[in-house]
Structure 1
Amino acid sequence: MTDLPQQTLDDATAVLRSALAGDGDAVVGAFDDVVDRSGLAGAYGVAWCLAATMVGDPGPAGSCALDFPGIDEAGYDTRWVARFVSAYANRDADTGQALFGAAAADGLLPDCLLTLAGSTVATLRSRDR
């Protein structure tokens, strides 16, 4: 994750601060600012950074199996987050990019990114316990 540009890390920090404060509008606004400045590629970088925050350093490509009980019954955004985080954990950037593009094409990317930010915060809080 350390090979990300400083701007991406700063943007991810802004998203997390907003999510930690429980301000969903600010989370969406932070992602909108990234898209305005850097396009969808910039938002993808921030999302990948959030996944990295959740997972940490992934193992060898294809070595992770994450368990998401009940995921098939979950909403689009929750399934998307599970798959996106799994793609990160398995160092599968192609799948991550495909998921990102599909959510954008479906018009559901803002919901997915908001859920990703919330999931990242929940993960961080669970580590503090």
Structure 2
Amino acid sequence: MTATHRRAPNVTGSLCSVSDLTYPPTVRRVTDLSQQLVDDATAILDSALDGDGVGVAQAFDTVVDRSGLAGAYEVAWCLAATMVGDGPRGSGAALDFPGIDQAGYDTRWVARFVSAYANHDQDAGEALFGAAVADGQLPDCLATLAGSTVATLRSRAQ
């Protein structure tokens, strides 16, 4: 794909929710997010949509350089919001992850992190993020989160 044909997500809502896959990215009704956060999430998803793992890593590195791990956490939480979308969320939300117990660290992490978002459990999200940092797994977890978000968006677009 060329840059002119790339399909990037629209980031909308009070958190990052994606309405469709179109280019150029547009932002509507953003109330709780800074424009920089939305731009960071969009850059990461643009790279992931292009299959550019190096670009995803560089975009996250840029966030960390500018805003530290707190900024990377905010972008990751935004990506989780994009995956969950505008559906109902709340205590006890059940997400189906078949075979998750046999999956790698990064895949299990993404399932748990997205579940934390879906259940409004920011404490669990922060604990998972901190554990990934402590375990030296954060870069792989964030790359998998970006890839999973893109896969979810593509699935919704079909």
TM bucket by the smaller chain? over 0.9
CA separation of 1:19/1:65 partners in 2, compared to 1, >3 Å: closer, same or farther?
same
Report the RMSD for the aligned CA atoms in angstroms. Answer: 1.0
CA distance in structure 1 between the aligned counterparts of 2:129 and 2:37, rounded to whole angstroms: 16
Once the two structures are superposed, what CA deviation does each residue of 1:8-67 show, in whole Å capped at 9, x if it has no partner?
Answer: 111000000000000000000000000000000000000000011110135353131111
Q: Quick check: which one's strand share is greater? A: 2
Residue matched to 1:17: 46
**Higher RCO structure (Cα 8 Å, ≥6 apart):** 1
Runs of 4+ that moved beyond 4 A: none
Q: Normalising by structure 1, what TM-score?
A: 0.96
Is 1:55 matched with 2:84? Answer: yes
Judging by fraction of residues, say which structure has more helix. 1
- In structure 2, the partner of 1:40 is 69
**Secondary structure of residue in 2 paired with 1:64:** coil
Unaligned runs of 5+ in 1: none
Counterpart residue identity of residue 93, structure 1:
Q
Q: Report the identity percentage.
A: 76
How many aligned residue pairs are there?
129
Establish whether residue 68 from structure 1 lines up as the match of residue 105 from structure 2.
no
- Max Rg structure: 2
- The 5 A counterparts of 1:1-129 are 1=15, 2=30, 3-57=32-86, 59-129=88-158
1:29 partner amino acid = Q
